[in-house]
Amino acid sequence: MGSELSTKGDVYSYGILLLEMFTGKRPTDERFKETLSLHNFVKSTLPERITEIIDPILLQQRVTRGTTANITRKRNILGNGRRLQCLISILKIGLICSSESPSERMDMNDVVTKLC
């Protein structure tokens, strides 16, 4: 963003990586042109519409004998409040890490603590 180099730039990249991994979207996706960005896309949907942005692969549930079955988004993710809260927390960390202002970003020590 034109500022001097610091570890806060690495924190930004880490935040974007978290958002990419959990949404399955890339920051270079066609939908992120003009004013919409991956960061803003996630921010505008949390927490109420999380099931609309989570990568569908994460909404699969393992069943017996090692096979994987697709479960409807609503039933699978909303059926497990703890899993939902975990996903929301991870996306919030990604948002804080990818804040536009470096001073608003978390230190990586705090990121690790929150992830644990």
**Is residue 2, in this structure, part of any structural domain at all?**
no
- What pLDDT, on a 0 to 100 scale, did the predictor assign at position 3? 59
CATH of the domain at 67: 1.10.510.10
Q: Within a 13 Å sphere around the CA of 93, how many CA atoms are in the beta-carbon half?
A: 23
**Is residue 97, in this structure, part of any structural domain at all?**
yes
- What is the tally of structural domains in the chain? 1
Distance CA 34, CA 31 (A): 9
pLDDT tens for 78-87 read 456 788 888 9
**Is residue 37, in this structure, part of any structural domain at all?**
yes
- Tokens coding 92: 């919030």
When computed from its CA atoms, the radius of gyration of the chain, rounded to whole angstroms, is 16
**Is residue 1, in this structure, part of any structural domain at all?**
no
- Tokens coding 80: 């497990």
Greatest Cα pair distance, the chain, in angstroms, is: 53
Question: What residue numbers bound the domain in which 69 lies?
Answer: 7-115
pLDDT tens for 16-45 read 999 999 999 998 888 887 778 999 999 999
**10 Å Cβ neighbour count for 115?**
11
